[in-house]
Amino acid sequence: MQKFRDVLSRWNGGDLSMMEAGELLGMSERQFRRYRDRYEEAGEAGLLDRRLGKLSTRRVPAEAIEEMLELYRHRYLGWNVTHFHEHLLRDHHFSWGYTFIKTQLHAAGLVERAKRRGAHRRKRERKPCEGMMLHQDGSRHRWLAGEPMLDLIVTMDDATSTIYSAFLIEEEGTASSFRGLLETFVAKGLPSSLYSDRGSHYFVTLKAGGTVDKIRLTQVGRALDRLGIEHIPAYSPEARGRSERMFSTLQDRLPRELALTGIADIETANRFIAQTYLPAHNARFARPPAVQDSAFVAADPQQLAQILCIEEERVVARDNTIAFARLRLQLPQSPIRHHFVKATVKIRQYPDGTLAVFHGPRRIARYMPNGAAIQDTCPIRQAA
């Protein structure tokens, strides 16, 4: 009030124009003129906001607010505000804005206010087009309510944050890495590079915390090298910031979505993730690439299946058997030779656990994960 009176006095004295007076008060010339007229008519009372004491025409009924709060307490407790707001709009036909919902949840003490962020760090720029770099990582978490901890294996594009493959498994390892890569490569093609942590199934690290051995390759490293895909190791959690932030979002949302649908087993959960959750997640969080061209290269799915698997050499014993993973695999009779005693063969273990034995380019036997022979309708087949 004092500032307005001082400016008005200077305007009355001719020291200020109406535009200059408005600028000093942070308002337009027209608004200053209205305030001058109201002050001359009613004094200081004329400057009070005329909306005071009046109910807004956009006021939300108290009953509707309580209904929203009850929904949160009894069905969505623990959800973040953004996730909860999306479900309110989609499933419960509420039309209120995100900020209003957050304010009401804060006022009711149901959601804590966000902590102040730390110092700004510059993040690595995304690759310009999809297929230039993929991230693969696993996150151990209690994804299913009432069940033990499980690993979620995710394969994601660096350029767009699109998740191409995601599934739950009891423990991360070589087989789960191959499964995620196979699902992605069959659907999209071969990328230029893969970025991962330095887990023992990805890299051989001779000294803890040291650099990876580029000569001694793991099964995953051997497969990527054969496909011509560069394998890039991450040397700190901060280096994997993009995938770490993605897992933070998944840990916050996916368990609640699974619980909301009543899913409690891995097989059903993986179907839900692939068919329902991932399309919605990518629509919500994926972003367009800076360059529309794709770096993916098409590949033959049958050839990929023969490369993205565990492959080891064995020498056939005198009884035509092979020892592998605590199994003793009996080779069947073959039309190409009388026996395979002392022959060097390759065993391939596929992501689904099945096994195949190759002599040179030919597959000579197949087995179930427990070692039981599979009758091969075409026992002599060229290997990929």
In 3D space, the residue among 307, 267, 356 whose CA is nearest the CA of residue 181 turns out to be 307
Residue 64's pLDDT is what?
87
| C-alpha distances in Å from residue 97, one per residue of 78, 79, 100, 104, 106 | 19, 17, 5, 11, 15
Residue 95 has pLDDT above 90, yes or no: no
C-alpha to C-alpha distance for 145 and 4, rounded to whole angstroms: 62
Q: How many CB atoms lie within 10 A of CB 375?
A: 7
Q: Which residue has the tokens 């560069």?
A: 230
Percent of the chain with pLDDT over 70: 91
126, 243 contact by CB (below 8 A)? no
334, 379 contact by CB (below 8 A)? yes
Residue 48 has pLDDT above 70, yes or no: no
334, 295 contact by CB (below 8 A)? no
Which of 14-18, 215-219, 272-276, 291-295 reaches the highest mean pLDDT?
272-276
pTM score of the predicted model: 0.73
Residue 260 has pLDDT above 90, yes or no: yes
168, 151 contact by CB (below 8 A)? yes
Q: 344-349 and 355-359: which strand pairing?
A: antiparallel
Contacts of 289 (CB under 8 A, 6+ apart): 126, 127, 128, 129, 130, 159, 160
Beta strands in 220-354 (DSSP E): 230-233, 310-315, 321-324, 327-330, 344-349
Residue 320's pLDDT is what?
93
| Mean per-residue pLDDT of the chain | 87
Q: 1-5, 323-327, 333-337, 358-362: which range is least confident on average?
A: 1-5
Burial of 314 (0-12, 13-18, 19+ CB in 10 A): middle
Q: 26-35, 136-145, 162-171, 311-320: which range is least confident on average?
A: 26-35
Helix (H, G, I), strand (E, B) or coil at 161: coil
In 3D space, the residue among 163, 170, 201, 203 whose CA is nearest the CA of residue 184 turns out to be 163
Summarize the confidence of residues 318-335 as an average pLDDT.
91
Q: How confident is the model at residue 384 (pLDDT cuts 50, 70, 90)?
A: very low
Amino acid identity, residue 117? R
Q: How confident is the model at residue 254 (pLDDT cuts 50, 70, 90)?
A: very high
Residue 58 has pLDDT above 70, yes or no: no
179, 354 contact by CB (below 8 A)? no
